[in-house]
Amino acid sequence: MTAVSYVITVFNKEEYLPEVIRSLEAQVEIDTREYIFVDDGSSDNSVQVIKDCTQDLNAKIIIIEQENLGASWGTNAGVEAASHEWIKLCDGDDLLTPHSSIWLIEACEKLNVNHAWGHSAYFEWQGREDPLTRPAPKPDMEVMEDGLKFFIRNNPANSTCMLFKKSYYQQIGGCDPRLVSPDQLLFLRLFAHGKGARVYGDVGLLPDAAPDRLSAQKGRSRYESVLAMYFTILDKPPLLTQDHIDYAYKRALSRAERFHRKVYGGLCNRFLWDHIRSKVWPHGDKITALKKCLAAFTPDGRIERSMDWKPGAGKRGKAPADF
């Protein structure tokens, strides 16, 4: 019998939730399921919409209402409340493809790993197409031999694309409440502690009109991507090697130079020279050099981010300090 706990983080998503819940109900080959909605202090009618849309469903429904502490904090709360070993995450404005859960579980079981992720695609919100009826040929699946390096290089997915065992999530420390989004650091943590599987098929569907996404806020998103690498290195997880640190250092310098050039124009910026130096005469302390790259993304050019860029847990003193 296949049982899954779905953890859905929500913040002012009343418009999207009926479709999100429809996609949860459309999951195939899942015998037992529970839906755990974590409302992160919404000011709209998200909670009432959840209640209205789930009242007649044949699934266990849990609604956690918290003050605005961030999606990372909310994800931890949702996983803690889960009854089942398999955990499937879903953002409050994303859809799961009908085979999302079973493909990811199959990959984990066949390849003997504790976590898996798949691809995502966009769909036109309120368009004519029903995105849940798209063709879904059986995808290839493989173990990623060095998933940590892959996600240091780039993160092409979000938390809607992942599935993991609850026990493994707890083992690796879950999400870091210092970060607004769980996406960047959670992928790094998952692969820094053990190999995972990749499913070469769409498991998540993202609306093409969600301007409040962190990914739509480029400076803040880039900042968190580098901060996630920095936190991961400081954690010293078991699969982290010096090669990973060297690669993270180079990726951080590349992101800093590219972002600073695109936003502020011109080639003469200190991140360009650091980027060039990394290729011919690398810094002795690469972790500190990586940390200094954070200044490329903040409006005031400081390494420290403003309070506005911190999640609610950071603003309320419930998360540790960044540095």
The boundaries of the domain holding residue 234 are 217-315
Is residue 262 very low, low, confident or very high in pLDDT (cuts 50, 70, 90)?
confident
Asked if pLDDT for residue 99 goes beyond 90, the answer is: yes
pLDDT digits (tens, 9 = 90+) for 264-318: 776 667 788 787 887 888 888 999 999 999 999 999 999 999 999 999 999 999 9
Specify whether the CB–CB gap between 158 and 94 falls below 8 A: yes
Instruction: Output the pLDDT for position 215.
Output: 47
Q: Are residues 221 and 190 in the same domain?
A: no
Is 322 a domain residue? no
Q: Are residues 183 and 235 in the same domain?
A: no
Residue 45 half-sphere exposure toward CB, CA atoms < 13 A: 7
Q: Are residues 189 and 252 in the same domain?
A: no
Asked if pLDDT for residue 216 goes beyond 50, the answer is: no
- The length of the chain, given as a count of residues: 323
Q: How far apart are CA 244 and CA 187, in angstroms?
A: 14
Q: How far apart are CA 65 and CA 170, in angstroms?
A: 22
CA nearest to 237, candidates 189, 285, 195: 189
More confident residue, 126 or 210: 126
Sign of the alpha-carbon torsion through 211, 89, 319, 323: negative
What is the pLDDT of the chain when averaged over all its residues? 94
Is 310 a domain residue? yes
Would residue 300 be called left, alpha or beta, if left means φ above 0 and alpha means ψ between -120 and 50 degrees? alpha
Q: Are residues 167 and 69 in the same domain?
A: yes
Tokens standing for 274? 């650091």
Portion of the chain with pLDDT greater than 90, in percent: 88
pLDDT digits (tens, 9 = 90+) for 127-148: 899 999 999 999 999 999 999 9
Q: Are residues 108 and 201 in the same domain?
A: yes
Q: Are residues 149 and 84 in the same domain?
A: yes
Asked if pLDDT for residue 213 goes beyond 60, the answer is: no
Q: Are residues 259 and 161 in the same domain?
A: no
CA nearest to 82, candidates 101, 97, 66, 61: 61
Q: Which of 196, 215, 234 is the last residue of a domain?
A: 215
Is 139 a domain residue? yes
Sign of the alpha-carbon torsion through 261, 264, 266, 267: negative
Q: Are residues 60 and 87 in the same domain?
A: yes
Q: Are residues 73 and 44 in the same domain?
A: yes
Q: Are residues 30 and 165 in the same domain?
A: yes
CA nearest to 296, candidates 225, 213, 211: 225
Is 186 a domain residue? yes
Q: How far apart are CA 175 and CA 108, in angstroms?
A: 21
Q: Are residues 176 and 308 in the same domain?
A: no
Number of domain units in the chain: 2
Specify whether the CB–CB gap between 9 and 76 falls below 8 A: no
Is 321 a domain residue? no
pLDDT digits (tens, 9 = 90+) for 31-63: 999 999 999 999 999 999 999 999 999 999 999
Torsion from C-alpha of 179, 213, 162, 85, nearest 10 degrees: 70
The CATH number for 62's domain is 3.90.550.10
Q: Are residues 128 and 15 in the same domain?
A: yes
Is 323 a domain residue? no
Asked if pLDDT for residue 190 goes beyond 70, the answer is: yes
Instruction: Please return the burial class of 177, using the count of CB atoms within 10 Å of its CB with bins 0-12, 13-18 and 19+.
Output: buried
